[in-house]
Amino acid sequence: MHGCVNVANWPLLPLWLLGMLLLTQPVWAANFQILHAETQLHEGVYLVNADMHFELSADSREALDNSVPLTVQLTFQVRRQRDWLWDQVIASVQQRYQLQYHSLAQQYVVTNLNSHQRHSFPTYAAAMEYIGRLRGFPLLDQTLLDADTRYQVRLRAELDIHSLPAPLRPLAYVSRAWRLRSHWYSWML
Amino acid sequence: MIDSLRHRPLLPMLLLFGLMLLALLMMSDATQHSERFNELYFWLLVFSAGGLVLLTVLIGVGLYQLMHRYRQHEPGSRLSLRLMVLFVALALVPVGVVYHFSLQFLQRGIDSWFDVRIEDALNDALELGRSALDLRMREALKQTQRIAEDLRQPNRTGVAMQLDEMLTYTEATELTLFGQNGRIIATASLDPLRIVPHQPPDIVFLQVRQGHDYLSLDPIHNVGFHIRVMVPVPSVGSADETRMLQALFPVPSRLGELADSVQSAFDSYRELKFLRNPLKTSFILTLSLVLLFGVLAAFWAALYAAQRLVAPIRELAEGTRAVAAGDYDRQLPLTSNDELGFLVHSFNQMTRNLAHARLAEQRSQQLLKRQRTYLQAVLARLSSGVLTFDHSGCLRTYNIAAEQILHTRLGKRVGRSSDDHPPNHSPSQHIQRFFEALKPWLQHPEDWRQEVTLFAGTGRLVLMCRGSSLPDPDRLRGGHVVVFDDITALVQAQRDAAWAEVARRLAHEIKNPLTPIQLATERIRHKYLKQMEPEQARVLDRGTQTIIQQVQSMKEIVNDFNNYARPTRLNMTPIAVNRFISELLYPYRSNRHGIRVVFAADTADPTLMADASRLRQLLHNLIQNSLEALSETGGQLTVCTRVCSDQGQEHLQVQICDDGPGFPDGRIGNMFEPYVTTKPKGTGLGLAIVRKIVDEHGGLIDLANPPEGGAQVTIRLPLNSPSCATTEENKA
């Protein structure tokens, strides 16, 4: 339980809070990385294929091994590029996976929260590999796009700390170990 | 200061407190419910921390101002500080106690959720579940291995049919045959809707491909627990690819439910156990934030309340200080109706009364001042000098006439007695003598009159003083008032008038019969002297001659009186004194009695405005008196002149001394009166005329018998004084 902070031992709570707030920044690509992503047009639908690498921090891994469900969220944004104005987000799609350790089965269960499909994996690495390999994810219909406009797709992966159990959330908000997030990975549609 | 307190932003502060309270409530809610305020938690935390920092800064500023006022000794600051410390202590102690016990209860309460026995029981239940399923799983493995063995030899009906067939005599719900690369060769399922089989993870393929069996319990969505078995299918020939068979066996529903329940309970317990410390941290964080907010709010409230409570007292203190400094118009605003309001009301009433009293006092002082000015004006216009002395003999007041009569400034003598001279001030001798002359009379309880004769720098002063004790009902003031007039001219006039009368009578009563007597005697002599016998004629001649001589002598005496009594018109001319006296003494130096005549002249060689003939007569009379006194014994006659200065007024002092027998004892006082003489042939007019001439010149003459013997006559005549001419004109 070394990830927990005993607040009662901190007499200067406000200073600690302020310091934590100032120092707290997302742990960038060191843990969550998007290696490659692309879009394919298949029967009028843009499908996304992406290869990602996810590595949980020690704190989050410990929580996972203690049956705390973790949620990994992929966020896709389709942006229309404009010459004189900032880009316009015309579509935002999320793909969420819940990762949980099953004590009885001794399996890591990955649940696709969009489709509610479950997959069991005997090892953590297999589960993370499964999440990190996205194939044929339907992004949007081609008909929704203008032919003569340039579109950019962005992808970001992050650990959804809002979905954590309530007692963990305050710590997750202020601790670097819990702020796992990748850079935006962009490519042209 | 009072205004700033009055306009202290109480409303914004209450708003801040309300917002912070709301934020803390939302934070507390967010830590307990996963849905509400989740997104806001971070910003709520930031807002709360910011609010606490702002509150700390405000308190710091307030404390700094309070300490600054305390160091400046501003009224009320000490009480404010004391009240604030008291309030804070009153707030901190119970809050601290509650916080301490809350922490204890929190720790113990959360810890009490966990019990080693429950944990053991759950572990045992999990182990039991696993054991129960393990048997089933082994059975499933055996069945799968048999099926795999059966699949080794391909059936005529095809693999798919073969799998369908196998489903019927095994407990499997789904059988799938995979190729080397994970490709599905054939599948059979009891679920007619299921077309795509449950795909195993890649790692399972890898394991089976290496010749190991795979056996696991998979929780499958909407289906419950399933036993997933995957085994390699032995190939017939070496050229055949390795195939893999996956079989899914259902867990009996009751067993599945029980396993699910155990699994759920175990995972929940494990999660809860893991979350124990974060839970504590979260609760303590929220509790500490609430406590910090409460303490800071109490601190601010204490600061505010202390200053608010002390404000009227400070106003009162400032008002009192203003009144002490003389600002009687200070009115304090009445802000409350409590005891402090009553005090403020009383203070305002007091200042109003003080203002009225001060106005009345100012009026009475103005009245007094006017009366004093009036009295001073009256005194200033009095021709008499007025002096007042206190009970200890110190001069208190004087009027202008007093200074004019005494020819001196009296300002420096105010508050001093006759013995006490002002510093750096040499008092004029006549003023000192005057005060010494008055001193014995100042203790006199009754009214008194006294004539005081002084020699001022301007000449002789005869002052008629009248004194009276001042009333002293409260033994506070009292003292003495002395009114005096310059009666020098009056005395002189009275004396002149008296002697003019004497002269007139002498002329009328004595001189008129003398001529007939002389004429008759001469006629008798002329008629009978030739006819008589020589003897008789000799008697007649002697007799008539005696009569004629005596009558002549009487005529001379009468003429002397005339000279004395007749008003004289002085012919004032500047006289070089040393030369004048030197010439005058010349005939006396060769006298027949061998008397030595010495003249000690002042080196300053003064010039005196005087009538030369009268001055000559004065000196002749005095020198002749001395020579007559020395005629029998011989001796020395000394005349000396000296210029003396008294308070800026110069006068000439002429002393005539001899070493004769001196003046008879007890008669010095009336030696200047007419007909007073010690000589057998004297007329008694010599010194009287001398005194008259000195008076005419505004001088003073003193007779004395010095201790070393002889007689000493001192004459003091004013140098460059206009009073001589004035005196003579008055007399004329």
Return residues 100-159 of B near A (CB < 8 Å).
103, 126, 129-130, 133
C-alpha to C-alpha distance for A33 and A72, rounded to whole angstroms? 13
Asked if pLDDT for residue B723 goes beyond 50, the answer is no
CB B728 within 8 A of CB B569: yes
Mean of pLDDT values over B435-441: 86
Name the phi and psi angles at B263, rounded to 5: -60, -45
**HEC-encoded secondary structure of B492-536:** HHHHHHHHHHHHHHHHHHHHHHHHHHHHHHHHHHHHHCCCCCHHH
pLDDT > 70: what percent of chain B? 88
Asked if pLDDT for residue A155 goes beyond 90, the answer is yes
Inside any domain, residue A32: no
What number of C-beta contacts closer than 8 Å exist between A and B?
Answer: 148
A77 - beta bridge partners? A92, A154
Asked if B573 has any chain A CB less than 8 Å from its own CB, the reply is no
Of A18, A129, A130, the CB nearest to B49: A18
Asked if pLDDT for residue A20 goes beyond 60, the answer is no
* Closest chain A residue by Cα to residue B296: A14
**pLDDT the model gives residue A75:** 94
C-alpha to C-alpha distance for B672 and B690, rounded to whole angstroms? 8
Asked if A170 has any chain B CB less than 8 Å from its own CB, the reply is yes
Q: Residue A70: which domain range?
A: 37-180
CB B653 within 8 A of CB B641: yes
Among B214-218, B414-418, B546-550, where is mean pLDDT lowest? B414-418
Please write the tens of the pLDDT for every residue from B51-92. 889 889 988 998 898 889 888 888 778 888 888 888 888 888
- Please judge whether A104 and B130 are an interchain contact, meaning their C-beta atoms are less than 8 angstroms apart: yes
Asked if B262 has any chain A CB less than 8 Å from its own CB, the reply is yes
Inside any domain, residue A28: no
Return residues 34-73 of A near B (CB < 8 Å).
62-63, 66-68
More confident residue, B558 or B541: B541
- Please judge whether A104 and B53 are an interchain contact, meaning their C-beta atoms are less than 8 angstroms apart: no
Best residue of B24, B36, B40, B42 to probe chain A, by most A CBs closer than 10 Å? B42
**pLDDT the model gives residue B131:** 86
C-alpha to C-alpha distance for B150 and B638, rounded to whole angstroms? 184
pLDDT > 90: what percent of chain B? 6
- Please judge whether B262 and A122 are an interchain contact, meaning their C-beta atoms are less than 8 angstroms apart: no
C-alpha to C-alpha distance for B700 and B486, rounded to whole angstroms? 15
Q: Which strand (E) or helix (H) includes residue B208? A: helix B202-209
Q: How close A123 gets to chain B, by Cα (Å)?
A: 9
CB B615 within 8 A of CB B654: no
**pLDDT the model gives residue B76:** 78
Asked if pLDDT for residue B189 goes beyond 90, the answer is no
CB A101 within 8 A of CB A64: yes
**pLDDT the model gives residue B592:** 76
**pLDDT the model gives residue B39:** 65
Q: Is B328 exposed, middle or buried (0-12, 13-18, 19+ CB in 10 A)?
A: middle
Best residue of A10, A67, A121, A168 to probe chain B, by most B CBs closer than 10 Å? A67
Q: Provide DSSP, B119-180.
A: HHHHHHHHHHHHHHHHHHHHHHHHHHHHHHHHHHS--TT-HHHHHHHHHHHSS-SEEEEE-T
**pLDDT the model gives residue B675:** 64
CA dihedral B434, B436, B437, B438 (to 10 degrees): 90
Question: What residues of chain B lie within 8 A of the CB of A116, using their CB?
Answer: 221
If you ran DSSP here, which 8-state letter would residue B234 be given? P
Best residue of B275, B276, B279, B296 to probe chain A, by most A CBs closer than 10 Å? B275
What the block records as the tokens of A21 is 């707030």
Q: Tell me, what amino acid is at B235?
A: S
**pLDDT the model gives residue A13:** 52
Of B188, B230, B204, B202, residue with least CA distance to A135: B202
Mean of pLDDT values over B470-488: 77
Best residue of A6, A15, A17, A22 to probe chain B, by most B CBs closer than 10 Å? A17
Task: Please enumerate in sequence order all residues whose Cβ is within 8 A of that of B59, keeping only pairs 6 or more positions apart, or say none.
Answer: B296, B299, B300, B303
Asked if pLDDT for residue B730 goes beyond 50, the answer is no
Inside any domain, residue A1: no
Asked if pLDDT for residue B31 goes beyond 70, the answer is no
Q: How many CB atoms lie within 10 A of CB A28?
A: 13
Best residue of A106, A120, A161 to probe chain B, by most B CBs closer than 10 Å? A120
Inside any domain, residue A134: yes
Please write the tens of the pLDDT for every residue from A157-174. 999 988 888 778 877 877
Asked if pLDDT for residue B136 goes beyond 50, the answer is yes
For strand B480-486 and strand B385-389, is the pairing parallel, antiparallel, or unpaired?
antiparallel
**pLDDT the model gives residue B639:** 92
Inside any domain, residue A68: yes
Please write the tens of the pLDDT for every residue from B291-325. 888 888 888 888 888 888 888 788 888 888 888 88
Inside any domain, residue A105: yes
Q: How far is CA B546 from the centre of its chain?
A: 100
Of B39, B216, B284, the CB nearest to A107: B216
- Please judge whether B282 and A171 are an interchain contact, meaning their C-beta atoms are less than 8 angstroms apart: yes
Asked if pLDDT for residue A72 goes beyond 90, the answer is yes
- SS3 assignment, position A91: strand
Name the phi and psi angles at B14, rounded to 5: -65, -40
- Report the half-sphere exposure of A117 (CA within 13 A, side-chain side): 8
Asked if pLDDT for residue A131 goes beyond 80, the answer is yes
Q: A8: pLDDT confidence band, cut at 50, 70 and 90? A: very low
Q: B360: pLDDT confidence band, cut at 50, 70 and 90? A: very high
Asked if pLDDT for residue B157 goes beyond 60, the answer is yes
**pLDDT the model gives residue A25:** 44
**pLDDT the model gives residue B483:** 92
Asked if pLDDT for residue B724 goes beyond 80, the answer is no
Asked if B280 has any chain A CB less than 8 Å from its own CB, the reply is yes
Q: B470: pLDDT confidence band, cut at 50, 70 and 90? A: confident
Asked if pLDDT for residue B598 goes beyond 60, the answer is yes
What's the sign of the alpha-carbon dihedral A60, A64, A66, A68?
positive
Question: What residues of chain B lie within 8 A of the CB of A105, using their CB?
Answer: 216-219, 225, 263
**pLDDT the model gives residue B721:** 53
If you ran DSSP here, which 8-state letter would residue A178 be given? G
Please write the tens of the pLDDT for every residue from B259-273. 888 888 888 888 888
Q: Which strand (E) or helix (H) includes residue A138? A: strand A133-141
Question: What residues of chain B lie within 8 A of the CB of A115, using their CB?
Answer: none
- SS3 assignment, position A150: coil
Of B201, B219, B277, the CB nearest to A126: B201
- Please judge whether B282 and A21 are an interchain contact, meaning their C-beta atoms are less than 8 angstroms apart: no
Asked if pLDDT for residue B238 goes beyond 90, the answer is no
Of A105, A123, A165, the CB nearest to B217: A105
Asked if B277 has any chain A CB less than 8 Å from its own CB, the reply is yes
- Number of structural domains, chain A? 1
Q: Which strand (E) or helix (H) includes residue A121? A: strand A118-121
What the block records as the tokens of B362 is 């100012």
**pLDDT the model gives residue B649:** 76
What is the ipTM score, two decimals?
A: 0.75
CA dist A176 → A100, B86, B209, B587, B623 (Å): 22, 43, 41, 140, 135
Asked if A142 has any chain B CB less than 8 Å from its own CB, the reply is no
Q: B638: pLDDT confidence band, cut at 50, 70 and 90? A: very high
**pLDDT the model gives residue A138:** 92
Q: Tell me the pLDDT of chain B averaged across its residues.
A: 82
Asked if pLDDT for residue A14 goes beyond 80, the answer is no
**pLDDT the model gives residue A94:** 93
Inside any domain, residue A97: yes
- Please judge whether B271 and A67 are an interchain contact, meaning their C-beta atoms are less than 8 angstroms apart: yes
Sheet holding B224-233, edge to edge: B184-189, B174-178, B243-250, B224-233, B214-220
Mean of pLDDT values over B325-333: 81
Asked if pLDDT for residue A27 goes beyond 70, the answer is no
- Please judge whether B274 and A126 are an interchain contact, meaning their C-beta atoms are less than 8 angstroms apart: no
Of B459, B408, B414, B461, residue with least CA distance to B437: B461
**pLDDT the model gives residue A6:** 41
CB A175 within 8 A of CB A27: no
Q: Please report which residue ranges of chain A form alpha helices under DSSP H.
A: 13-23, 58-65, 124-132, 169-174
- Please judge whether B275 and A168 are an interchain contact, meaning their C-beta atoms are less than 8 angstroms apart: yes
- Please judge whether A14 and B270 are an interchain contact, meaning their C-beta atoms are less than 8 angstroms apart: no
Asked if pLDDT for residue B234 goes beyond 70, the answer is yes
Of B218, B221, B279, the CB nearest to A107: B218
Asked if pLDDT for residue B344 goes beyond 90, the answer is no
**pLDDT the model gives residue B445:** 81
Inside any domain, residue A21: no
Asked if B289 has any chain A CB less than 8 Å from its own CB, the reply is yes
**pLDDT the model gives residue A133:** 92
More confident residue, B219 or B57: B57
Asked if pLDDT for residue B389 goes beyond 90, the answer is no
Mean of pLDDT values over B24-51: 74
